[in-house]
Structure 1
Amino acid sequence: MTKKLMSSVLVGIFLLSIPFFAAAEGKHFEDVSIIFFPGGSEGDSFASVVYRGAKAAEEDLGPKVDYMWSSWLPDKMVAQFKDAIAKNPDGIAIMGHPGVAAFQPLVDEAIAKGILVTSQNTTLPEIEAKYKDKGFGYVGQELYPSGLMLAKGAAQRAGLKAGDRAMVWGLLGQETRGLRTKGCIDALKEIGVEVDYLEISDQVNSDAASGTPVIASYIAAHPDVKMIITDHGALTATLGTYLKAANKKPGEIFGAGFDLSAATTAAIKEGWVGAVLDQQPWLQGYLPILQICLAKKYGFAGLHIDTGAAIIDNSNIDFVAPLAEQGIR
């Protein structure tokens, strides 16, 4: 049995046992306290889905959970992690965006104080390997392979060929988080596509709407661009706004990106977005809460759970659209 299959089986067992926990003792993990990082800002198209998943776990399982919103800023996540350690909860579920170098000493400090730590959305491989036996797991997509999958699928759907131009708007500047961006770029270059890369600024990272002039300016300077990939859920959800501002019509430039949301669902149906890789962020909220509860009460080791899913486009959007409207997909 592969590690991925084993993880999936274990997760299935844990989820199936939740009704037993509830029936046996009411809220089974009421004595567990957790600080959870949804990643972005309240109302953010991606972070809000992560938050809904975490809230569902809080309601189902009974732990006391406090939330820290970080606007997707790595420096803010580091500062907030320090504050979270000072509050001395039973566990902390972090977003891994700041990377191993920034987080390693803080995780060491938390573990030394008896605080469980686990991560979601962005892997911290060395830390996970060091503390897996102490409950440090991971819930999220495998970043580099996800970038490859999305870019290859999008290029095929867009009919790109060698010599065509594409733009990738991503986060190469972030140590581990940037691996997904790198996967996108590598996949396109392998096809022979000419790739223009733009780094997502802190301003746009926190406020997707502020990226409108960036895209408009880029398209004006590169009228031959055939595809734009946004490696950021909120930016993907805003692609229609960007392309309208550049006086483009739906489908004139193939838009692709990550993370399904109600806004992205509408953009797919309207033709602004042609392909999205859904990493199922609701699970990135629910399962880290479950991980900490199980590690705290039963000493379970960290589980590594890949939430990366198939590509969503106009051929299969109708099935998941109602779930996206509910903030589950």
Structure 2
Amino acid sequence: MKTPPPSSRSSRPPRAAAVLAAACLLLAGCSGGDDADSRADTAAAGGTGMKVALITHGAEGDVFWERVRKGAEAAAAKDDVDLTYVSDPDPAGQAELMRDAVRDKVDGIAVTLAKPGAMTGAVGEAKKAGIPVVGLNSGIDAWQSAGLLEYFGQDESVAGRAVGDKLDDLKAKHALCVIHERGNVALEARCAGVKKTFGGATQNLYVEGTDMTATSAAVTAALRQDRSIDEVVTNGARFALAAVGSVKEAGSAAKVATFDLDNDLVKAVENGSVQFAVDQQPYLQGYLAVDSLWLYRTNGNISGGGVAPVLTGPAIVSRANVGAVAGFAARGTR
């Protein structure tokens, strides 16, 4: 069952509301109920005063998550939403942040499910408290079973298969897919998707993404050990930029491609040091997640009908089309 939308505050004066309610009872001609009326009145007044928590697994200072947050803040400003953004890469910590939001009695929660099993209990507590929860970015295969209302993001398997096809077009033969967070379902799905469609060899390299020095060293070592690797595929813009340095350090002829982009990565695509990037539009994910909770509260809307995700990617950005997104990337919205 879907969590019913909570009633919004009515903008009618108490006495007027009482008179109208009495008239409805006498005439038996009013339908739709006070909840529907109050939602309409609140929307017409231009705001809800609702509180929303956006809870992600993003690392502090990561440019990607700043874009998610920026999109969420834009939607919150438009909808008169009191938004709180918190994050913790540790799944137990992220679950506890969600429990904090439940204790704070927020009106809606948007959450990432990078490690769905760790979040099941916290999501259940939010639902029990009557708080609607939507998903974004990670967990496209788990959001429905977890009981979330809606999901906004990229189908990572589809994105991976698109990269595999692109590598075939580029005549690559051996891809190294770098996973910077072991157990992250989105990253695993991407590399599995690459392997599914890429005609050459694919191998995964697991690194500790919180230590960029160690990550760069691991990629360099892999390239030195196997000279047949001609493509390095990373799962984030900063890892792609680091991989460019690893290729040079190893004296390798490998090319670099990546999932996700930011302004620095756009410049790397422009100058040819990175072949292409897959854009999942993180700004849009944050925006839609917050806006969907507002729409649900004020109008009972459920994007995708609660049975289908709303896809924000993949879109491949290469040197041929990077100019179309460069301006938006520079201002931090792509």
Same fold (TM over 0.5): yes
Structure 2 matches for 1:148-297, cutoff 5 A? Answer: 148-157=161-170, 159-160=171-172, 164-170=173-179, 173-175=183-185, 177-188=187-198, 191=199, 193-201=200-208, 204=209, 206-208=210-212, 210-247=214-251, 252-297=253-298
- Aligned amino acid, residue 50 of structure 2: V
Taking the aligned partners of 2:164 and 2:96, their CA distance within structure 1 comes to 34
Shift of 1:50: 0.8
Contact 2:277-2:318 within 8 A present in 1 as well: yes
Q: Does 1:80 align with 2:90?
A: no
Verify the 8 A CA contact 1:41 1:69 in the aligned structure 2: yes
Unaligned 5+ residue runs, structure 1? 1-20
Deviations 1:277-312 (A, max 9, x none): 111111111000011111122222353210013211
The code of the aligned residue for 1:76 comes to G
Whether the 8 Å contact between 2:143 and 2:151 is mirrored in structure 1 is: no
The alignment status of 1:321 with 2:329, answered yes or no, reads: no
The answer to whether the Cα contact below 8 Å between 2:109 and 2:132 also exists between their aligned partners in 1 is: yes
> Matched residue pairs, number?
290
Alpha-carbon separation, structure 1, partners of 2:98 and 2:214:
27
Q: CA deviation at 1:172?
A: 6.3
3-state DSSP class of the match of 1:169?
strand
Aligned to 1:112: 128
Over the aligned positions, Cα root-mean-square deviation in angstroms equals: 2.5
Q: What CA distance in whole angstroms lies between the structure 1 residues aligned with 2:145 and 2:128?
A: 16
Distance, in Å, in 2 between the alignment partners of 1:39 and 1:174 is 10
* Alpha-carbon distance between aligned partners in 2 of 1:254 and 1:318, rounded to the nearest angstrom: 21
SS at match of 1:321: helix
What TM-score do the two structures reach when normalised by structure 1?
Answer: 0.80
Return closer, same or farther for 1:175/1:38 CA change in 2, 3 Å cut-off. closer
Q: CA deviation at 1:106?
A: 1.9
| Structure-2 separation of matches of 1:22 and 1:238 | 49
Q: Which residue of 2 aligns with 1:49?
A: 67
Between the aligned partners of 2:98 and 2:241, the Cα distance in structure 1 is 28
**SS of residue in 2 equivalent to 1:102:** helix
Check conservation: 1:240, 1:267, Cα contact below 8 A: no
Matched with 2:27 is none
Question: Contact 1:239–1:272 (CA<8 Å) still a contact in 2?
Answer: no
Q: Secondary structure at the match of 2:102?
A: helix
Q: Would you say the 8 A contact 1:154–1:256 is kept in 2?
A: no
Match of 1:138 among 148, 151, 160: 151
Letter in 1 for 2:124: D
Task: State how far apart, in whole Å, the 2-side matches of 1:107 and 1:234 are.
Answer: 31
What are structure 2's unaligned runs of at least 5 residues? 1-40
Deviations 1:9-36 (A, max 9, x none): xxxxxxxxxxxx999534x23x210111
CA contact (8 A) 2:52 2:109 kept: yes
Q: Which residue of 2 aligns with 1:5?
A: none
- Residue 53 of structure 2 is aligned with which of 3, 12, 35? 35
Distance 2:213 2:78 in 1: 35
Q: 1:49 to 1:323 in 2, by over 3 A?
A: same
Partner of 2:85: 67
Q: CA deviation at 1:229?
A: 0.7
Greater relative CO (CA pairs within 8 A, separation 6+): 1
Q: Is the 8 A contact 2:187 2:235 kept in 1?
A: no
| Bigger Rg over Cα | 2
Match of 1:13 in 2: none
Alignment check: 8 A CA contact 1:45 1:237 kept: no
- Shift in Å, 1:207: 4.6
Secondary structure of the equivalent of 2:314?
A: coil
Q: Distance in 1 between the 2:292 and 2:50 partners?
A: 12
